[in-house]
Structure 1
């Protein structure tokens, strides 16, 4: 056996854990952004932009 036989046993579980944590936070961030947009849309509306009539 060579000295690097242990590498896949350590690297692949570590990789799966890191990717899993990253995916969890990516999904959580997108979920929170959707919730934030939904709450902002239901809140008080901003006043409409006024345009000046230059034809007068």
Structure 2
């Protein structure tokens, strides 16, 4: 997947909350749950666009 959205936060709770918000607003799916970033001490999470059904891609 070429497109990835990233959330960075100071706590795992804040990171999870903002990941959830990002997914809800933009219709994304989490691809990396909150994890501590080595060397920075910050929490990161990622989301990607939801996979389209075959009919949406013109194949169904």
TM-score normalised over the length of structure 2: 0.30
TM-score normalised over the length of structure 1: 0.31
Structure having greater relative contact order (Cα 8 Å, sep ≥ 6):
2
Q: Choose between structure 1 and 2: higher strand proportion.
A: 2
Q: Choose between structure 1 and 2: higher helix proportion.
A: 1
